Amino acid sequence: MTTTNQSQNIPFNEAQQAWLGGFFAGMHSHILQSAGSADAANARNISILYGSQTGNSESVAHDAAQVAKAHGLNPSILSMDEIETDAFAQIEYLLIITSTYGEGEMPDNAQMLWETISADDTIDLANMQYSVLALGDTSYDLFCQAGIEWDQRLEKLGAKRLYDRIDCDVDFDASAESWITNIIPLMADGATAITIDSSATGSAAKYGRKNPFPGKLVANRLLTSPDSSKEIRHYEISIAGSELSYEAGDALNVVPVNCPDLSADIIKAIGCTGDEDEPVNGVLMPLSQSLNEHFEIKLPSKELLDEIARRSGDQELNNLLASGDKEKLASYLWGRDTLDLLLQFPEMQFSAAEFLALLKPLQHRAYSISSSGKANPETVHLTIGSVRYHSHHRDHKGVCSTYLADLADETSPVRCFFSPNKVFRVPEDDNLPMIMVGPGTGIAPFRAFLQEREFRKAKGINWLFFGDRNAAKDFIYQDEIEAMQKKGVLAKLDLAFSRDQEEKIYVQDRMREKGGELFALLEQGGYFFVCGDAYRMAKDVDKALHDLIAVHGQLSAEQAAEYVNQMKKDKRYVRDVY
């Protein structure tokens, strides 16, 4: 669950309960009341840098800042892409809070800073005192890798670790709170306390990660053709009355409810009835309700896997777990969910309490918003591929995508909260060109960007690269895209339908074909945006971008890499990939 290299391990159920209860809120007021008073000008500066893709680290950074203020410190919160290397090297008191993305990679907003700091051995951080909080998910092989790398790098460059790193799993609230309450007094040690201006600590927003807004699902329609090999749907969620607003480029996080059929099958498989009352955050509720609403029941946790291996004595599973061969384990688990594992060993029974203790809390899922908040202030549009596949003799469904597709309706609230993405934004200068690469569901934020440019009557060229499997079945939003072309909002459109011919054609092939024109727009200060699949598409698009810059800019590979890096620094090459 939560690992740490100090002795502050938090037992699983305690952490789960803390997560469910959100007890951090109470702690703030306690500390605020106990703060001393003195001159604000003398307060010690501390920098809180966060690397975040969907807002979790950013939200912890704000929690840390509130507690820091209450301890007489003067915190400044910065996203990692908001600080230059020189300024970074001058920091004396530093807190790093970062998640990990991709396969053990930095979140996008941390990448540039990391590349510089990790490459330059001459940086001397002897005057820096620091601590790292790493956010991650134990279901990934490289758990909390980004935080681990920051921690090791800062130490190597001479900085003094003031408090050991804590690596948090998805239920990070309790561990994050523990880290904050330990590190802040150490940072404040010897510092002059200041009067706490309670207005400066900010009143918590009414709705957010800890208190999702109950939105109303007002539209759910199929975008792909009914006979397509995939299912992509358009959703609209009303946020009327929430006082919330969003920008094109932001993400909406949806808190799903599990499929009741799946929880019923699991209850049967473990030998329970579903009526067993067990406490969840101190509230007694039947097992069926906890499984429906509070726990991840599709993807098995490591703890559950270990327990199934131990109880079953199954040689294959035990050997796999003992071998530490993550690739083999991943391939064993591919397409196998918790129920598959339980059905594989039908003799295995669990009490409700035993079983719940082996589960992880149910997580929200992030979705790139496909509408402009200016054009649609009261609704949020989403473009979501429903995850459905058949394996191990059963139909499987992705938790959140099919919660929206099959379960949610106008009568049941869809709990959601926003994650702002400050860099994934339509350029402020309405005259600058915008190049958008978004195959599949990757088109989502670009629908929002086009609406935004139209709303702003922006003159800059908009160029979209889109593709999917078959033009006849998967050209989602075709009518809207063609209307945008007619209105002149979308000046250029390049399509790559991969399965309409023998040889696959992808968006990066279209980019290469139009390399000269694309490079010319980059030279005019154009922005280059990518959204969609992180593992294959985004990597190949990145390679194509480097190649076309080298060819059309007549640059060496190193010079092209520098060109791309400069675009990243200028926030003109930004990605929203998953």
Ligand X SMILES: Cc1cc2nc3c(=O)[nH]c(=O)nc-3n(C[C@H](O)[C@H](O)[C@H](O)COP(=O)(O)OP(=O)(O)OC[C@H]3O[C@@H](n4cnc5c(N)ncnc54)[C@H](O)[C@@H]3O)c2cc1C
* Minimal distance, residue 334 CB to ligand X, in Å: 5
Contact 19, 361 (CB under 8 A): yes
Would you count residue 532 as binding ligand NAP (CB under 6 A)?
yes
Whichever of 185 and 420 has its CB closer to ligand FMN, that residue is 420
Contact region with ligand NAP (CB under 6 A), list: 82-90, 219-227, 388-396, 503-511: 503-511
Q: Residue 253 interacts with ligand FMN (CB under 6 A)?
A: no
Which of ligand NAP, ligand FMN, ligand X, none sits in contact with 535, Cβ below 5 to 8 A by type?
A: ligand NAP
Burial 327-356 (b: 16+ CB within 10 A, else e): eebeeebeebbbbbbbbeeeebebebeebb
Helices (H) and strands (E) in the chain, counts: 22, 22
From the list ligand FMN, ligand X, ligand NAP, none, pick the one residue 57 interacts with, judged by a Cβ distance below 5 to 8 Å according to partner type: ligand FMN
Give the single-character DSSP code of 221. E
208 DSSP assignment: B
Cβ–Cβ under 8 Å, residues 468 and 444 = no
Closer Cβ to ligand FMN, 57 or 401, answer by number: 57
Residues 6+ apart with CB under 8 A from 464: 436, 438, 443, 446, 450, 481, 490, 492, 493, 494
Contacted entry of ligand NAP, ligand FMN, ligand X, none for residue 52, CB cut-off 5 to 8 Å set by kind = ligand FMN
Stretch that binds ligand NAP, among 5-13, 368-376, 405-413, 496-504 (CB under 6 A): 496-504
Question: Does 102 engage in binding with ligand NAP (CB under 6 A)?
Answer: no
Q: 500 burial class (0-12, 13-18, 19+ CB within 10 angstroms)? A: middle
**What span, in angstroms and rounded, lies between the C-alpha atoms of 572 and 569?**
8
Residue from 83, 142, 357, 493 binding ligand FMN (CB under 6 A): 142
Minimum separation from the CB atom of position 309 to ligand FMN (A)? 22
> Binding string to ligand NAP for residues 251 to 290, with x set by CB under 6 A, is what?
----------------------------------------
Q: Is 440 in the site for ligand NAP (CB under 6 A)?
A: yes
Q: What is the H or E stretch that residue 64 is in?
A: helix 56-70
- Residue 439 φ then ψ, to 5°: -75, 155
Q: Does 531 bind ligand NAP (CB under 6 A)?
A: no
Q: Which of residues 61-120 bind ligand FMN (CB under 6 A)?
A: 99-104, 107
CA-CA-CA-CA torsion for 46, 51, 56, 60, nearest 10 degrees? Answer: -10
Asked if 504 is part of the footprint of ligand NAP (rule: CB under 6 A), the reply reads yes
Q: Which stretch binds ligand FMN (CB under 6 A): 31-39, 130-138, 323-331, 562-570?
A: 130-138
Bridge partners, 495 (sequence order): 466
Sorted by sequence, the CB contacts under 8 Å of residue 482 that are 6+ apart come out as none
Q: Which is nearer to ligand X, 277 or 389 (CB)?
A: 389
Terminal-residue alpha carbon distance, the chain: 23
CB of 161 or CB of 388, closer to ligand X? 388
Q: How many CA atoms lie within 13 A of 347 on its CB side?
A: 5
Report if residue 468 touches ligand NAP, rule: CB under 6 A: yes
List residues near ligand X by CB under 6 A. Answer: 53-54, 251, 298, 334-335, 365-368, 383-385, 387, 389, 391, 398-401, 441, 444, 576, 578
Smaller CB separation from ligand NAP, 177 or 468: 468
Helix (H, G, I), strand (E, B) or coil at 362: coil
Q: How far is the CB of 383 from ligand X (least distance, A)?
A: 5
* 50, 58 Cβ separation under 8 angstroms: yes
Instruction: Using the minimum distance from each CB to ligand NAP, give the nearer residue, 150 or 528.
Output: 528
Q: Which does 469 bind (CB under 5 to 8 A by kind): ligand NAP, ligand FMN, ligand X, none?
A: ligand NAP
What is the nearest approach in angstroms of ligand FMN to the Cβ of residue 57? 3
* Distance of closest approach, residue 298 Cβ to ligand X, in angstroms: 5
Alpha helices, DSSP H, located in 298-384: 302-312, 315-323, 326-333, 338-344, 352-357
Q: Which is nearer to ligand FMN, 82 or 314 (CB)?
A: 82
CB nearer to ligand X: give 54 or 59: 54
Give the one entry of ligand X, ligand NAP, ligand FMN, none that residue 175 binds, where binding means its C-beta sits below a cut-off of 5 to 8 angstroms depending on kind.
none
Contact call for residue 467 and ligand NAP (CB under 6 A): yes
DSSP secondary structure letter of residue 459 = -
Q: How far is the CB of 50 from ligand X (least distance, A)?
A: 15
Buried b (16+ CB within 10 A) or exposed e, 67-91: bbbbbbbbbebbbbbebeeeebbeb
**Which among 1-9, 134-142, 450-458, 522-530 is the span making contact with ligand FMN, rule CB under 6 A?**
134-142
**Contact assessment for residue 130 and residue 95, using Cβ atoms and an 8 Å cutoff:** yes
Name which position in 143, 163, 179, 424 contacts ligand FMN (CB under 6 A). 143
Minimum CB distance to ligand NAP, residue 371 (Å)? 17
**Given the complex with ligand X, which of 329 and 387 has the nearer CB atom?**
387
Neighbours of 261 (CB within 10 A): 9
The contacts of residue 506 (CB under 8 Å, 6+ apart) are 439, 467, 496, 498, 537, 540
Q: Residue ranges of the alpha helices (H) in 364-435?
A: 399-402
| Least gap, CB of 505 to ligand NAP (angstroms) | 9
Residue 485's nearest CA partner among 509, 461, 504, 468 is: 461
Give CA–CA dist 43/40, Å, rounded: 5
Which residues of the shown chain bind ligand FMN in the complex (CB under 6 A)?
A: 52-57, 99-104, 107, 135-137, 140, 142-145, 170, 578
Interacting residues toward ligand NAP by CB under 6 A: 230, 385, 439-442, 467-469, 498-499, 504, 506-508, 532-537, 540, 578
